[in-house]
Structure 1
Amino acid sequence: MLSQKAKYALRALIMLAEQTDDEELILIADIAERENIPRKFLEAILVELRKHGLLFAKRGKSGGYRLARPAADISFGEVIRLIDGHLAPIPCASKFSFKPCDDCIDPGTCSVRWLMVQVRDATAGVLDNHTLADALRHRQSTGSLAANFDI
């Protein structure tokens, strides 16, 4: 299941992706207000995203945030893995943090694991092939893209 933290991260990133001026920075207060995200929680999320190279940040009076890479280069899968750790529904189906179940006799023949690996692969296929730019196109097609950032 997608954590609230990952959901907030995606919403903040999509808002930042709306910015057409590659140099303009968006204040954390504006992101928090528009996306209805608690500011302190958002601050921690944005620091983490900056640390992983998804955001550029500038401190001070003229500070704020913007994407560090083009929106088309940031997939939902990348963001969710950064925030939540893995996409697998159970630890033994994880590609990068495999951990066998305590009660499992043989993960290689486990039918539950077999199915959960398929779920993981299907989930990764969707999330890794959809980017922030795709989300923007969806927002535009539904008419929910903000006209400006003057809140």
Structure 2
Amino acid sequence: MIDLRFPTTLFAMMLIADAAEAGRATVSSTELATKLDNNPSFVRSLVAPLVRDGLLTSVRGRSGGLGLARPASDITLREIYRAAVADKRIWDQRDEMPHVDDVTTNACRYFESLTDEIEDTVVATLGSKTLSDSLADLKSLPPVAA
């Protein structure tokens, strides 16, 4: 099963950053839920790690909502990724393989090494992109034909 926490979290962060660019300090979890095609309690659980890690602020109450804790230009996609997925790796490996020959004996170690290399590359790439840059890139895409 593909883990959709990071893309969904990034989408939420882009929506909040877009609102901030437009002069809105906060976005409600209900508004985010509507745009994410989900429910407000899911959105609150999705953004809780972002609040915990100092990427978002959360204001309770009728006029509250979620806002950026820092400028979008100071938030990297790596920070969002780490908050969203915590220590979960890109791929899990099969540890239960029987060790009957060289391939099955070493497959798990090889796959772990390969996954580490891929994860390092992904995290490095995400560290070179800011939320602000990503939002600008998104807005520069040509419109989708109807």
Tell me the TM-score range normalised by the shorter chain. Answer: 0.7 to 0.9
Mapped partners of 2:66, 2:79: distance in 1: 19
The 1:22/1:54 distance shift into structure 2, 3 A limit, reads: farther
Largest Rg, 1 or 2: 2
Helix, strand or coil at the partner of 2:58: strand
Q: Deviations over 1:38-74 (max 9, x none)?
A: 2221011223321221111111122111100111222
Tell me whether 1:135 sits opposite 2:134 in the alignment: yes
TM-score (norm 1): 0.71
Q: Which residue of 1 aligns with 2:13?
A: 13
Which runs of no fewer than 5 residues in structure 1 stay unpaired? Answer: 93-100, 145-151
> Which has more helix, going by share of residues?
2
Q: Which residue of 1 aligns with 2:3?
A: 3
Q: Identity across aligned pairs (percent)?
A: 24
RMSD: 2.9
Mapped partners of 1:46, 1:127: distance in 2: 19
Mapped partners of 1:2, 1:122: distance in 2: 19
Matched letter for residue 134 of structure 2: A
Comparing 18-27 with 75-84, greater Cα deviation is found at 18-27
Segments of 4+ moved more than 6 angstroms: 102-106
Helix, strand or coil at the partner of 2:21: coil
| Residue correspondence of structure 1 range 2-151 to structure 2 within 5 A | 3-18=3-18, 19-20=20-21, 24-86=25-87, 88-89=89-90, 110-142=109-141
Preserved CA contact (<8 Å) 2:30 2:39? no
The Cα of 1:2 is off from its aligned counterpart by: 6.0
How many residue pairs get matched? 134
The 1:71/1:54 distance shift into structure 2, 3 A limit, reads: same
Preserved CA contact (<8 Å) 2:33 2:39? yes
Matched letter for residue 83 of structure 2: L
The Cα of 1:37 is off from its aligned counterpart by: 2.9
The Cα of 1:23 is off from its aligned counterpart by: 6.2
TM-score (norm 2): 0.73
Mapped partners of 2:82, 2:36: distance in 1: 21
Which runs of no fewer than 5 residues in structure 2 stay unpaired? Answer: 100-104
Q: Deviations over 1:10-53 (max 9, x none)?
A: 11111111122566221111111123232221011223321221
Mapped partners of 2:70, 2:142: distance in 1: 25
